[in-house]
Chain A
Amino acid sequence: MGAGLTLAQTDVGRFKVPDIDDNGILKSLMTGESAKMYLGKPMEIQKLVIEFYKEDGKTVNIRVTSPFCTYDTGTNVATSDNKINIDGDGFHIEGVGYVFESSSSQMEIRSNVKVIFKNMKMKPPRPNTKTYP
């Protein structure tokens, strides 16, 4: 029984999973310090990093990091009770516990949410009321 479980588990070391579009441009890159793959179960990933790239396929647009998550390769859903940090141009998101559906670009953070916007406009631009010839 125990031997069967051992055979069903595959340990993967440091890994990289790129997502490349039809034109050969890198859309995202998932990396991890290590992963354990099981038959019929989501894989377990340590030190997850997902980088989403801009249209040039080189510039990182959004970077997601988390110390641990499970990832279902069939549904492309990552789940974790651990911390998550998301950093992008002008914003930072953090929280604890999350579900991320990469196929639909939807994410739920379950607790302790903190979002910081840098230089976000929270009021309309003031129109010029006076003009001089």
Chain B
Amino acid sequence: MKKHILVIFTFFLSVLPSFVYPQDAQAEDRITEITSDKLFFDYQEKQAIFTGNVVVTDPDLQLTADRLVIYMTPEDEIDKLDAEGNVEVKMEGLHSRSGKAVYTLGDGKIILTDSPQVSREGSVMQAEKITYWRLENRMEAFPRARVIMFREPEK
């Protein structure tokens, strides 16, 4: 009896037209804005901790959460985002809700845990853990993966 069900979620890929990655090179400055109630910043540890009504607005993703920790590289670039509490992420046609979300920029991987669900084009996926690779547009959900598909009634 398999305790863990592994689902390579190709469904979304087959439903949607293939995602065309936008060009990175842009003439204008791209702006990333983060607002919150509070911020604790430790320059030596290269960490910024945002708490209370955290909102990240970026051309590539929108994120809201109760708490967000940003880990920076020694070169002061974003290395990892660690969000907790009522986390919502919107990007590339996906809309996720979860208790926790960890996004590592190096591999473009987002790990959603704590009752995660991902909505896309009228379908909802749920599991104990959902992982999404942005570059490959691939998603994995396990264990106890479940997909709910909605259809419009035929006329």
User: Which A residues are closer than 8 A to B by beta carbons?
Assistant: 93, 95, 104-127
B136 to chain A minimum Cβ distance, whole angstroms, is 10
**Count of residues in B whose CB is under 8 Å from the partner chain:** 32
Residues of B within 8 A of A115 (CB): 33-35, 39, 48, 50
Beta-carbon contacts under 8 Å, B36-83 to A:
36-44, 48, 50, 58-61, 77-78
Q: Is the interface of B mostly helix, strand, loop or mixed?
A: loop
Q: Are B34 and A114 in contact (CB under 8 A)?
A: yes
Known contacts A106-B43, A116-B33: does B38 contact A123 (CB below 8 Å)? no
A126 in contact with B21 (CB, 8 Å): yes
> Which residues of chain B are within 8 angstroms of A104 by Cβ–Cβ distance?
42, 44
With known contacts A115-B34, A117-B31, A117-B32, A122–B60 Cβ distance under 8 A: yes
Interface of A is mostly: strand
Distance A131 CA – B29 CA, assembled complex (angstroms): 30
Q: How far is the CB of A86 from chain B (nearest CB, A)?
A: 9
B38, B50, B60: most-surrounded residue (chain A CB, <10 A): B38
B44-A105 in contact (CB<8A):
yes
List 16 A-B residue pairs with CB atoms under 8 Å apart, sorted by A's residue number. Answer: A105-B42, A105-B44, A106-B40, A107-B39, A109-B40, A111-B38, A112-B37, A113-B37, A115-B48, A118-B30, A122-B61, A123-B61, A124-B107, A124-B134, A126-B135, A127-B135
